[in-house]
Copies of this chain bind each other. A is one copy, B any other.
Amino acid sequence: MGVIVGLEGGGTKTGCAVLDAQGALLAYGQGGPANLNFVSEAQQRESFETAIESALKGISEPVLALGYTVAGTFANWEWVLKRLGNPQAFAVEETRMAFVSTGADVAHGLAIVAGTGSVISAFVSDRLARTVGGWGALIGDEGSAYDLARHGLQLAVRSWDGRESPSQLVNAVQAFFGISDLRELIPLLYQRGMPRHELARFATHVLETAESGDALAQQLVVERATVLARDALACARGVFEPQEPLWVALTGGMFRQPSLFQKTFEEVFSREFPRAHYHTPLMEPAVAVARIAWRRYCADSA
């Protein structure tokens, strides 16, 4: 019968999903980071191989179609296609995948991806209408995990040297990095260097510090969520009417569980789009990519 493969390479991990010819999930595998803006081609390929090998283990049926998405940038798909027996291939935009992952069959509304990086798109009847963000860790990715982690570190050192009031963020940094003197961050971050997706993991601790009641962490979480919500508004404005019911897909690690971040985002966004409905993922991104590929394959074969 044959299978459909969905491959999704993100800033932190790669997922690979296998569907049967009826669109049901058969297997899922996972690998490391794959964003070529921040990892090497060798690392990307290794992440892809790990995910594909583990997903396709024990599956001998031919691959009928591949859906693929990679965060931030291009990838060398040639060997992936060869590895899979050169199936029909469908490139899927990251935000379309994010949208479908929340359970919508037709992409119509707004997709916010806030994972290691961030990007926002508006879709109208399955057509990509507009994208903002996605400029990477140095000059963008507002409201992403890396963005929150970096700002959290910045606030912690400002608290440490007396430019801000005392904050539990200092303790969070000490625990996360295993250091007592925050000056140890300097060689750690600059000389040894820390990969973007590893630093991004500190975002969870900023969220936790905020939930525990720390004023500085709370202000920061509210600020970064507000920036993201305003960017989402800028993307939605002019594409949708303020009064229409709007599907808003909230995806990526920053929306993995309800938090002050998500609450703030929804509050700010709802001021202009009071009938927005917020949806978080029901499936792994790679499964959504596979489903999009499956639908396109079926349409092409019909």
**Chain A residues within CB distance 8 Å of chain B:** 36-38, 72-73, 130-133, 135-140, 150, 153-154, 157-158, 161-163, 185-187, 189-191, 230-231, 234-235
- In the assembled complex, the CB of A275 is this many whole angstroms from the nearest CB of chain B, namely 23
Contact of A163 among B36, B137, B231 (CB under 8 A): B231
* Alpha-carbon distance A108/B131, docked complex (angstroms): 53
Contact B135–A157 (Cβ < 8 Å)? yes
Contact B189–A138 (Cβ < 8 Å)? yes
**Residue among A131, A133, A140, A150 with the most chain B CB within 10 A?**
A140
Name 21 A/B residue pairs within 8 A (Cβ), A-sorted: A37-B186, A37-B187, A73-B186, A73-B187, A130-B162, A132-B161, A132-B163, A133-B163, A135-B157, A135-B186, A138-B150, A138-B153, A138-B189, A139-B154, A139-B189, A140-B154, A140-B157, A140-B158, A162-B235, A163-B231, A163-B234
Contact B189–A136 (Cβ < 8 Å)? yes
Chain B residues with CB under 8 A of A73: 186-187, 190-191
* Alpha-carbon distance A231/B161, docked complex (angstroms): 10
Q: Using A132-B162, A150-B138 as known contacts, say yes or no to A38 and B190 having CB atoms under 8 A apart.
A: yes
Contact B138–A191 (Cβ < 8 Å)? no
Please give 15 more A-B residue pairs, beta carbons under 8 A apart, in addition to A135-B157, A138-B190: A37-B191, A38-B190, A72-B186, A132-B162, A133-B163, A135-B154, A136-B189, A137-B190, A138-B153, A139-B189, A140-B154, A140-B157, A162-B234, A162-B235, A163-B231
Q: Using A139-B185, A185-B139 as known contacts, say yes or no to A133 and B161 having CB atoms under 8 A apart.
A: yes
Q: Using A132-B162, A234-B162 as known contacts, say yes or no to A157 and B185 having CB atoms under 8 A apart.
A: no
**Residue among A138, A153, A157 with the most chain B CB within 10 A?**
A138
Quick one: closest B residue to A190, CB to CB?
B37
* Alpha-carbon distance A231/B157, docked complex (angstroms): 12
Q: Using A36-B191, A186-B73, A190-B37 as known contacts, say yes or no to A153 and B132 having CB atoms under 8 A apart.
A: no
Chain B residues with CB under 8 A of A136: 186, 189-190
Quick one: closest B residue to A141, CB to CB?
B154
- In the assembled complex, the CB of A4 is this many whole angstroms from the nearest CB of chain B, namely 30
Contact of A139 among B138, B153, B234 (CB under 8 A): B153
* Alpha-carbon distance A83/B136, docked complex (angstroms): 44
- In the assembled complex, the CB of A40 is this many whole angstroms from the nearest CB of chain B, namely 10
* Alpha-carbon distance A234/B153, docked complex (angstroms): 19
* Alpha-carbon distance A190/B38, docked complex (angstroms): 7
Closest 7 interchain pairs by CB? Answer: A37-B190, A163-B234, A139-B153, A132-B161, A139-B154, A135-B157, A132-B163
- In the assembled complex, the CB of A226 is this many whole angstroms from the nearest CB of chain B, namely 13
* Alpha-carbon distance A170/B154, docked complex (angstroms): 28
Chain B residues with CB under 8 A of A150: 138-139
